[in-house]
Each structure stands twice: as structure tokens, then as C-alpha cells.
Amino acid sequence: MPREAQVVRKTKETDIRLTLRLEGEGEGRISTSVGFFDHMLTLFSRHGFFDLTVTAKGDTDVDFHHVVEDVGICLGEAFRKSLGSLTGITRYAHASIPMIEALAHVTVDISARPHLVFRCPLK
């Protein structure tokens, strides 16, 4: 049985449709109207070797943050749904990845308790 999920989220600010297939080929079909976010989600899919389709519309004339937040909520829900009971999942993982002029450090705990720490000092 393929591990995949579809999530739809509609609010006053956004309309999001997201499909995640964990056993994919790293194909991203992303359209959020936020160029850099599209780029990052495409790379996330490619380097994660999962297929991700995102169509997001929102009040980007006001700000991008509603689209970014709601896509994040949908993405978390899609991972939760597609992973099911978490049987056979390695709970903890970490990686440091250099890419061009950036170095990203990521630690993941798949425990069904959402939490985000984001530190991005720009120099």
C-alpha cells in the first residue's frame, strides 16, 4: 500500500491543495505564487525522494506569510497521514547539508508532537 496523503485547507486567507507520496521519485509540482518558497519546496521534494504537489492561492498581495504558514500546516498533516501508525519509522534523524553558500543543520523527531525552532541569521 503506497504511503501517500492528500490535504485540502481553505480559510479566509488561503486555498491549499497538497498531495504527498513518500515512495516517490523526488518530483515536485509546486505553485504557491511565492517564487522562493516554490523553489525551496521543489528542492525539499527532490532531495527527500518523495513526490509533492502543492497548489496554493492566498492573499499574497498583503503578505506571503499566510500561504507559507498554511502550506506548512498541510505538509505536516500530510506527513502524519502518510506515515500512519509510525511502525518501522526511525524516530530521530539529523543532517548538515552545505549547498552553495548556505549550511543547513536539521534535526527531526517524528513523534507526533509538532514543534518548530527556526533560526536564520542573515549575514
Tell me whether residue 62 is in a domain.
Answer: yes
Overall average pLDDT of the 77-97 stretch: 91
Question: 31: pLDDT confidence band, cut at 50, 70 and 90?
Answer: very high
Helix (H) or strand (E) holding 5: strand 4-10
pLDDT of residue 15: 98
pLDDT for res 111 = 81
67 neighbors 14 (Cβ within 8 angstroms):
yes
Domain enclosing residue 11, as ranges: 4-87
Segment 42-77, tens digit of pLDDT: 999 999 999 999 999 999 888 899 999 999 999 999
Three-state SS at 45:
helix
pTM above 0.95, yes or no: no
Residue 70 lies in a domain: yes
Res 75: pLDDT:
95
Number of domains comprising the chain: 1
Question: Residue 12 sits in a domain of what CATH number?
Answer: 3.30.230.40
d(CA 63, CA 100): 28
* Pairing between β-strand 14-21 and β-strand 4-10 as defined by DSSP bridges: antiparallel
